[in-house]
């Protein structure tokens, strides 16, 4: 059978790809539609320096690509950053810790992009007080007020912002990550109470790979947590263009499965189904092909979470500069009841101490696998700049 022309389905059926393409409403390419990824061309002809900076900042890494940022530009020389409270993950991130890491990453890119235009940014976190301890208590208080004045020093990592992409595919197990690469990656990444550590030691990889896979199974087999991802899954060019966020899937195979109604969006993937097998194989592959790990730790106050995000994006930009792939595997760090044993194990493995009980305890804030991919990771969609500006 010509693999270019046929797509194999669950139960041994096949769909002719030529027939699947019109069903899915477009060409058979798995590339994301150009408009969905236009953010990666930079701010283009935009002349307002604050909007230009925001255009870079929206490329920040963030959980489930929810892009939960809103900026208020009504006050001259000020950018006020808010969370879009519709864009959070109540089941896998009930305290909003990961969402705030995504805000930290946004802030870091914003500050870099302003400096690149000769503007120094003073960042004041929580100008009206911290957000509540749980997502459900969050109100309209801003995360940060950024005041601008002439100055700023160009950051060498800024050159990599538009090339930074998270590799969400298996790594090449014939290419180890060297200790020198890990050292270069971590160099200079400690900031404001956040430390970077990691390993590429073959003996240490086994337990950490196992942690990834066992914790992934908990997220995938717990109905309310897997459904959080299913609801954010965008299949095919039409949905990807409509939303420009979430988990974008555009391979001919998944589009064909969706087009014939075999991708259920209302229920967790049923055991044995093609969607179930694809999901499990994907996470097991990611876990087992980790060729190294890097993690960020610090205390767990709201400001630490934001600072972890600032450190995280710097680390990933450094990984981009070094040409090594860095991919968060956050399942073991998720704070829902069923995950508690893995949360504990993650802290034992990485910090040699129990999971935190208070905001002053050392906490693993980010946990990422390292390795090299066969093909470069693609740029993921972003919503248009205007969607972020109040
Ligand atoms: C706090 C945080 C947690 C993340 N956890 C995961 C994860 O568990 N699995 C994953 O594939 N990506 C994870 N990511 C990466 C995001 O999925 C990614 O940044 C987003 O999809 C946008 O893609 P990009 O980084 O290539 O621009 C995480 C990112 C952040 C900031």
Residue span(s) of the chain under CATH 3.40.109.10 come to: 163-227+286-371
Residue 212: which residues within 8 A CB-CB, separation 6 or more? 283, 286, 287, 290, 329, 331, 332, 369
Q: Which two tokens stand for residue 166?
A: 């998270």
| Nearest C-alpha neighbor of 345 from the set 195, 213, 199 | 213
Nearest CA to ligand 1 atom 19: 61
Provide the pLDDT for residue 18.
34
Q: How far is CA 343 from CA 139, 203, 287, in A?
A: 28, 21, 16
Q: Is 50 exceeded by the pLDDT of residue 353?
A: yes
Tell which one of 328, 334, 367, 377 to mutate to probe ligand 1, the residue whose CB is within 8 A of the most ligand atoms.
328
Torsion-angle region of 321 (φ positive above 0: left; ψ -120 to 50: alpha; else: beta): alpha
Residue nearest to atom 21 of ligand 1 (CA): 65
Per-residue tokens: 96? 């909003």
In this structure, the residues whose C-beta lies within 6 A of any atom of ligand 1 are 61-63, 65, 98, 101-102, 105, 165-166, 168, 328-331, 380
CATH classification of 34-161+378-388 is 3.40.109, yes or no?
yes
pLDDT at 359 over 60: yes
53 three-state secondary structure: helix
Distance in angstroms (rounded) separating the CA atoms of residues 226 and 235:
16
Which band of pLDDT confidence, cut at 50, 70 and 90, is reported for residue 28? low
Confidence of residue 291 (pLDDT cuts 50, 70, 90): very high
Class of 163-227+286-371 per CATH?
alpha beta
Q: What is the pLDDT of residues 52-109, one digit of tens each?
A: 999 999 999 999 999 999 999 999 999 999 999 999 999 999 999 999 999 999 999 9
**Cα–Cα distance, 360 to 338 (Å, whole number):** 24
Q: How far apart are CA 214 and CA 221, in angstroms?
A: 11
């Amino acid at each position: 059978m010509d693999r270019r022309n046929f797509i194999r389905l669950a139960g041994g059926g096949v769909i002719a790809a030529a027939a699947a393409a019109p069903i899915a409403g477009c060409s058979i390419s798995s590339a994301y539609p150009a408009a969905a990824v236009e953010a990666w061309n930079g701010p283009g002809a935009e002349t307002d320096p604050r909007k230009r900076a925001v255009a870079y900042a929206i490329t920040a890494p963030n959980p489930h690509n929810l892009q939960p940022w809103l900026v208020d530009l009504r006050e001259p020389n000020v950018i006020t950053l808010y969370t879009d409270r519709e864009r959070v993950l109540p089941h896998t991130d009930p305290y909003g810790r990961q969402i705030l890491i995504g805000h930290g990453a946004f802030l870091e890119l914003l500050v870099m992009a302003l400096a690149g235009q000769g503007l120094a940014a003073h960042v004041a976190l929580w100008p009206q007080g911290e957000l509540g301890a749980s997502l459900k208590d969050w109100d309209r208080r801003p995360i940060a007020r950024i005041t601008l004045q002439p100055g700023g020093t160009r950051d060498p990592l800024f050159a990599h912002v538009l090339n930074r992409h998270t590799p969400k595919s298996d790594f090449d197990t014939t290419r180890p990550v060297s200790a020198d690469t890990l050292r270069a990656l971590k160099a200079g990444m400690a900031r404001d109470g956040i430390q970077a550590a990691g390993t590429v030691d073959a003996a240490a990889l086994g337990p950490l790979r196992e942690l990834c896979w066992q914790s992934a199974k908990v997220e995938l087999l717990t109905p309310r947590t897997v459904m959080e991802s299913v609801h954010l899954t965008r299949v095919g060019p039409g949905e990807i263009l409509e939303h420009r966020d979430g988990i974008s899937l555009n391979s001919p195979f998944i589009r064909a499965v969706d087009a014939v109604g075999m991708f259920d969006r209302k229920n967790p993937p049923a055991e044995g189904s093609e969607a179930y097998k694809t999901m499990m194989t994907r996470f097991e592959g990611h876990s087992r092909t980790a060729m190294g790990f890097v993690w960020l730790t610090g205390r767990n106050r709201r400001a630490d979470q934001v600072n972890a995000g600032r450190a995280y994006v710097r680390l990933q930009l450094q990984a981009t500069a070094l040409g090594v792939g860095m991919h968060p595997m956050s399942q073991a760090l998720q704070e829902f009841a069923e995950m508690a044993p893995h949360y504990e194990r993650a802290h034992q493995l990485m910090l040699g101490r129990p999971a935190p009980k208070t905001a002053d305890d050392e906490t693993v804030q980010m946990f990422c696998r390292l390795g090299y991919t066969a093909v470069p990771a693609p740029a993921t969609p972003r919503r248009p700049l205007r969607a972020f500006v109040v």
